[in-house]
Amino acid sequence: MDKGKAEQAVKDLLLALGQDVESEGMKDTSRRVADMLITQCTEEDAELDVCFSQKTYDGMVIVRDIPFVSFCQHHLLPYFGRAHVAYIPRKRVLGLSKLARLVYSCSRGFTIQEDVTEHIANSLYDEVEPLGCMVVIEAEHGCMSLRGAKAVGSSTVTSVVRGVYRDVSAARSEFLGLIAKGGPR
């Protein structure tokens, strides 16, 4: 990535919008925005190959309310929310932070929520080989609230199921009940 070109592009955009890029409040804006976007577009490995335990566990493992931020590839505006990730181990149990790191890793770059949801599920299912996994993401989109519909406070929910969660409705129902707003906390 070319930080200098990114800074200049931000500066050019601000100038095109009639902004005073030399004012006290905006003199470092081009650098800050470029740094933020470079960080957002830098890939980070979730390290799913690091196993926490070889123990057999046949229950459901859920990490809910994992915060994330990504940027809409259509409008370059942020969307943010919470991811809920569940899996039923087959051979190994991951450290819980690995699921949070997976969400963080999959939400890098300019994305759409549907792809992030699928990327999380596919990575977990393909790399960890659980009996099944399920991912639900709830997010508020800047492009929905700042432009177009101006639907401030609306949220979008996406889900992807793999393995036993696809085949056994009771597993899906248990997961959805456990992540529900009124579920046990």
Largest CA distance in the chain: 62
Q: What band does 178 get if pLDDT is binned at 50, 70 and 90?
A: very high
pLDDT grade for 44, boundaries at 50, 70 and 90: confident
pLDDT at 48 > cutoff 60? yes
- Please give the pLDDT value at position 57: 80
Are the C-beta atoms of 113 and 139 separated by less than 8 Å?
yes
Of residues 144 and 148, which shows the higher confidence score? 144
Summary mean pLDDT of the chain = 91
Q: How open is the CA angle 22-28-30, to the nearest 5 degrees?
A: 95
Candidate from 21-35, 38-52, 122-136 with smallest mean pLDDT = 38-52
Mean pLDDT over residues 12-34, rounded?
Answer: 95
Question: Of the candidates 47, 60, 52, 134, which has an alpha carbon nearest to the alpha carbon of residue 93?
Answer: 52
Three-point CA angle 144, 155, 17, nearest 5° = 25
When pLDDT is cut at 50, 70 and 90, the band that residue 183 belongs to is low
The SS3 assignment for 99 reads: helix
Measured distance CA(155)–CA(96) in Å, rounded = 26
pLDDT, residue 91, reads: 81
Q: What is the mean pLDDT of residues 144-167?
A: 91
Residue 156 DSSP SS3: strand
Q: Would the pLDDT of 56 be above 80?
A: no
Instruction: Report the predicted TM-score, pTM, of the whole model to 2 decimal places.
Output: 0.89
Domain architecture of the chain: domains with CATH: 3-40 (no CATH), 61-179 (3.30.1130.10)
Q: Would you state the pLDDT for residue 47? A: 78
Q: Which of 137, 106, 95 is nearest to 44 (CA)?
A: 106
CA dihedral 123, 128, 134, 139 (to 10 degrees): -40
Mean pLDDT of 166-179: 93
Fill in the DSSP letter of residue 167.
H
Mean pLDDT of 42-59: 74
